[in-house]
């Protein structure tokens, strides 16, 4: 039988109220539609309540508001089922990294400082002056440039390039094929030619940041590009030179942030948002997907669109746009009536 945890253990893990058989063994996690015997799932929204009758799950993490609709089921009742489910997932299906050790094909410059219990996999290249903290994991093909520092317990996945002088904090995760410290896009005109401006600054990634796959974070022209503590960056994001992103901010896929932008704490930039250069977004803003931020946002709130506007106003505008054909027809009728009256 697959190794698992009892429902009682999981309820204690997340501080939930157990209803049902606490000795039930949970060996897997799944969505409520796909769950089978031995799995635990979650329910936090009424739109999925219909699956209660058909799910094969052995237990459900559920909100207090919905718990009474799941009579006869093994339940863990918590205020935030999704958060509790995430913690249960991490407990039942932990991410397993390669064991500590250095692969014989890895290149490590003699001047590099390597911490304890690190895992350096095949084809890793570690340059002069690098400092690795304890329990760092470098997957195959990682490039670490000169004088880079990587803090303890950071995980760098395959084919990531960390360019010279970059600073990576503790418990940072960088997914495959991302680049930290690439040159900022800076040129000056000399007649008809474009002359490259040297990019001599650095990048600082603070603690507990997670960076998705195929993300590029440019080094500063001078000074520092900064990604603040706890910020999470999705796949396919471009962050230009001298950008400063605050703490606990969310940057969703295909966002592009131009040079010298300052993004505050707890900001959410939804998918495909574009932010033009040299402006600021204050703390606690939400920018809706496919929006263009072309001027500084000084007041926290939710914004959407192009041109950007308060989200509620944007919703009203979209509703009005849907009615434009009817309004056009009514306007035509009114014009005809006015024309007839004028002829009398």
236-280 per-position pLDDT tens digit: 999 999 999 999 999 999 999 999 999 999 999 999 999 999 999
Q: Are residues 199 and 144 in the same domain?
A: yes
Q: Are residues 195 and 327 in the same domain?
A: no
Q: Are residues 327 and 258 in the same domain?
A: no
pTM comes to 0.90
Q: Are residues 126 and 230 in the same domain?
A: yes
Q: Are residues 156 and 182 in the same domain?
A: yes
Residue 17, domain extent: 5-92
Calpha distance 45→295 (Å, rounded): 37
Q: Are residues 331 and 210 in the same domain?
A: no
Last residue of a domain, one of 52, 67, 92: 92
Give tens-digit pLDDT for 282-325: 999 999 999 999 999 999 999 999 999 999 888 888 888 888 89
8 Å CB contact between 131 and 109: no
Q: Are residues 126 and 257 in the same domain?
A: yes
Give tens-digit pLDDT for 269-285: 999 999 999 999 999 99
Last residue of a domain, one of 92, 109, 136: 92
Catalytic (active site) residue 45: no
Q: Are residues 173 and 126 in the same domain?
A: yes
Instruction: Identify the three-state secondary structure at position 96.
Output: coil
Out of 97, 103, 241, 311, pick the active-site residue.
Answer: 241
Q: Are residues 61 and 195 in the same domain?
A: no
Q: Are residues 84 and 150 in the same domain?
A: no
Residue 2: its pLDDT value, please?
54
b/e map 285-294, b = 16+ CB within 10 Å = bbbbeebebe
The count of domains in the chain is 3
Which one, of 111, 158, 116, lies nearest residue 139 by Cα? Answer: 158
Q: Are residues 10 and 144 in the same domain?
A: no
Q: State what percent of residues in the chain have pLDDT above 70.
A: 99
Which range is least confidently modeled, 23-32, 169-178, 318-327?
A: 318-327
Q: Are residues 159 and 233 in the same domain?
A: yes
């Amino acid at each position: 039988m697959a190794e698992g945890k009892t429902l009682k253990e999981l309820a204690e893990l997340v501080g939930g109220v157990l209803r049902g058989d606490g000795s039930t063994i949970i060996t897997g996690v799944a969505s409520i539609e796909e769950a089978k015997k031995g799995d635990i799932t979650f329910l936090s929204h009424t739109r999925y309540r219909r699956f209660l009758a058909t799910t094969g799950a052995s237990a459900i993490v559920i909100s207090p508001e919905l718990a009474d609709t799941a009579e006869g089921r093994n339940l863990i009742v918590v205020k935030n089922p999704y958060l509790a489910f995430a913690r249960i997932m991490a407990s039942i299906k932990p991410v397993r990294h390669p064991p500590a050790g250095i692969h014989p094909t890895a290149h490590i410059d003699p001047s590099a400082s390597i911490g304890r219990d690190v895992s350096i996999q095949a084809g890793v290249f570690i340059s002069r002056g690098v400092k690795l903290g304890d329990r760092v994991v470098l997957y195959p093909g990682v490039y670490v440039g000169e004088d880079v520092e990587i803090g303890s317990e950071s995980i760098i996945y395959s084919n990531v390039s960390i360019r010279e002088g970059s600073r990576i904090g503790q418990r940072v995760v960088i997914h495959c094929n991302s680049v930290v410290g690439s040159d900022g896009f800076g040129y000056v005109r000399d007649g008809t030619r474009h002359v490259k401006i040297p990019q001599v600054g650095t990048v600082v990634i603070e603690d507990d940041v997670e960076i998705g796959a195929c993300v590029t974070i440019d080094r500063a022209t001078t000074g520092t590009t900064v990604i603040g503590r706890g910020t999470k960056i999705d796949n396919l994001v471009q962050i230009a030179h001298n950008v400063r992103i605050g703490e606990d901010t969310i940057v969703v896929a295909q966002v592009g942030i131009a040079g010298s932008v300052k993004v505050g704490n707890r900001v959410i930039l939804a998918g495909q948002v574009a932010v033009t250069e040299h402006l600021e977004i204050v703390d606690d803003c939400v920018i809706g997907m496919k929006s263009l931020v072309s001027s500084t946002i000084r007041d926290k709130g939710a914004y959407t669109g192009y041109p950007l506007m308060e989200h509620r106003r944007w919703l009203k505008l979209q509703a009005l746009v849907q009615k434009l054909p009817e309004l056009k027809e009514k306007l035509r009728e009114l014009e005809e009536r006015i024309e007839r009256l004028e002829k009398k």
